[in-house]
């Protein structure tokens, strides 16, 4: 009788072990999700570049990490912009020339990436494509044309300039013409707690000349470095031998 009782006890214990194993697995998965969300919220978040508005600094098909701690945190630092953070906490002032990700002011949900040109209190204007900040022309130097492949056999050339912002930040911009709407603007005076952002592809960027000033609360983070880049469809891995831009991997963003 004792042997029979022992046998029943062992059989009954087996489902408990299976249940315990499932619970451990579920706990591990949930913990991993919370850790990933935590890193995404407070440390770094990946983004990809779908448009050419930041050429030549960022190319279509670039994948990058954004530092979420660089400007402090707001509700837009959280997944789905959950309204759990009032205003902005642990705020650090952005620097002129930073490449930043922000939520589009017109809908507060679409991610945009541009360069900070105007700080609170600044005046910004373009005259014949030359950038003026606080009534002073920003120095720029003609550089070699930017060459971009348009298809497997053809390439395009675009005039490129090295722009030197007040404070010494240097970056390249593209400028096709000097007489479009984007090249001659009225004077923009940046309000308190707002920023003026522009794309480096000056004639092909919907930036603060179109969408308006960027509220401080809409800042998501500063673009830090690229971790992947592909000239084509990222899912066509069989084409990666020709489409991957290895020279851009782990490149810092200036």
Report the alpha-carbon distance of residue 66 to residue 207 in Å, rounded: 19
What is the residue range of 173's domain?
46-248
CATH number (domain holding residue 178): 2.10.109.10
**Active-site residue identified among 53, 129, 208, 229:** 53
Active site residue 53: yes
pTM as predicted? 0.83
Question: Is the same domain home to 127 and 6?
Answer: no
Is pLDDT of 103 > 60?
yes
Question: Is the same domain home to 38 and 80?
Answer: no
**Active-site residue identified among 68, 74, 77, 114:** 114
Question: Is the same domain home to 29 and 130?
Answer: no
254 occurs within a structural domain: no
61 occurs within a structural domain: yes
Question: Is the same domain home to 80 and 28?
Answer: no
pLDDT number for residue 5: 41
55 occurs within a structural domain: yes
Question: Is the same domain home to 137 and 26?
Answer: no
Q: What pLDDT digit, counting tens, does each position of 8-44 carry?
A: 444 444 455 556 677 777 676 666 665 555 555 667 8
253 occurs within a structural domain: no
Q: What pLDDT digit, counting tens, does each position of 67-101 carry?
A: 999 999 999 988 888 888 999 999 999 999 999 99
Question: What rounded mean pLDDT belongs to the chain?
Answer: 88
Question: Is the same domain home to 190 and 70?
Answer: yes
Q: What are phi and psi of 248, to 5 degrees?
A: -95, -10
Question: Is the same domain home to 102 and 189?
Answer: yes
Q: Classify residue 32 as exposed, middle or buried by CB count within 10 Å of its CB (0-12, 13-18, 19+).
A: exposed
Active site residue 129: no
């Amino acid at each position: 009788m004792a042997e029979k009782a022992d046998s029943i006890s062992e059989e009954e214990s087996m489902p408990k072990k299976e249940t315990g194993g499932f619970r451990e697995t579920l706990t591990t998965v949930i913990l991993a999700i919370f850790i990933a969300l935590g890193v995404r919220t407070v440390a770094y978040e990946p983004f990809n570049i779908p448009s050419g508005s930041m050429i030549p600094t960022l190319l279509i098909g670039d994948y990058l990490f954004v530092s979420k701690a660089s400007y402090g945190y707001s509700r837009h630092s959280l997944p789905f912009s959950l309204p759990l953070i009032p205003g902005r906490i642990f705020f650090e002032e952005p620097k002129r020339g930073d490449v930043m990700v922000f939520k589009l002011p017109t809908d507060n949900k679409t991610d945009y990436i541009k360069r900070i040109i105007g700080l609170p209190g600044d005046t910004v204007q373009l005259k014949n494509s030359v950038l003026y900040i606080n009534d002073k022309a920003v120095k720029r130097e003609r550089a070699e044309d930017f060459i971009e492949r348009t298809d497997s056999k053809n390439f395009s050339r675009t005039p490129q300039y090295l722009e030197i912002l007040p404070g010494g930040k240097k970056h390249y911009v593209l400028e096709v013409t000097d007489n479009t709407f984007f090249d001659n603007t009225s004077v923009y005076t940046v309000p308190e707690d707002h920023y003026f952002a522009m794309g480096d592809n000056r004639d092909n960027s919907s930036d603060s000349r179109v969408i308006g000033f960027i509220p401080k609360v809409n800042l998501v983070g500063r673009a830090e470095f690229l971790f992947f880049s592909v000239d084509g469809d990222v899912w066509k891995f069989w084409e990666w031998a020709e489409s991957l831009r290895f020279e851009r991997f782990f490149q810092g963003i200036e």
